[in-house]
Structure 1
Amino acid sequence: MSPAQVNKITYSFLNNNYYFATSERVCQFDGFLAAFPEVYFPNYNVKLKSELEAFSQLEAKKIEVQEYQENKPVRYNEGSLVQELERLGIGRPSTYNLFGRVLLKRGYAELNERGQFVPTPLGVSVNN
């Protein structure tokens, strides 16, 4: 059987200087999915026909606000840096402790009050 073709369509809206976006997956050609449409389409949120048309007027029926906070990555301390180096297979046991000292000596990082490495502007620029 032929493969299915599913398109992801993204819609964006601008209203009173607020930006909204949504997307939907629409089946262009069902191919092998024609054998079991009742299983695939609901489970993967695929529709047979798009519910929106380009440049159409929309009426808000339901507005759901979701707050999103991005978690900052956890900073390494000397112990967690050694563990990560071991896990990645970087260096040898005799050199693991040198990595942290080199970062501090060359000014790539500083230790904060909790003993965690914090990159300096030099460290950020070297990494980018």
Structure 2
Amino acid sequence: MSPAQVNKITYNFLNNNYYFATTERVCQFDGFLAAFPEVYFPNYNVKLKSELEIISQLEAKKIEVQEYQENKPVRYNEGSLVQELERLGIGRPSTYNLFGRVLLKRGYAELNEKGQFIPTPLGASVNN
């Protein structure tokens, strides 16, 4: 499939010496995203006002502060990886155990002392 063409637009705001930034992705050509949009960009059809100009003055209609804590991602072990593959409908029962072995064999991940998969730098770079 053809690659998608997505423009990334970054907006920077300065207000009373506070700096704010946000980005939007505008899909110019769907390419492979036509088959899997929610996997790569769950909200890629949501667009900000793309007509903003440099030094535009914006008026805040509502300001809301939310506090949240982000927990580190749960690491998969061999059993939980198989369960997640089943849940997502990836692979077949005869291939589920191969996924973990391939991750280890190709150097994409290592097992820690708890038996959890930890991505290697190679695995992280392939994922990004």
| TM score, norm. by length of structure 1 | 0.50
CA deviation vs aligned residue, 1:27-72 (integer Å, no higher than 9, x gap): 9999999999999999999999999999999999999998643101
RMSD over aligned Cα atoms: 10.7
- Shift, 1:124, TM fit: 0.4
Select between 67-76 and 103-112 the one with higher mean Cα deviation.
67-76
- Partners of 1:8 and 1:24 within 8 A in 2: yes
Q: Which has the larger radius of gyration?
A: 1
Hey, what's the Cα distance between the residues in 1 that align with 2:109 and 2:96?
16
Matched pairs, number:
128
- Shift, 1:73, TM fit: 1.1
- The runs of 5 or more residues in structure 1 that have no matched partner are none
1:12/1:79 CA distance change after superposition, 3 Å: same
1:113/1:59 CA distance change after superposition, 3 Å: same
SS in 1 for 2:42: helix
- Partners of 2:27 and 2:44 within 8 A in 1: no
1:39/1:107 CA distance change after superposition, 3 Å: closer
Hey, what's the Cα distance between the residues in 2 that align with 1:107 and 1:26?
34
- Partners of 1:27 and 1:48 within 8 A in 2: no
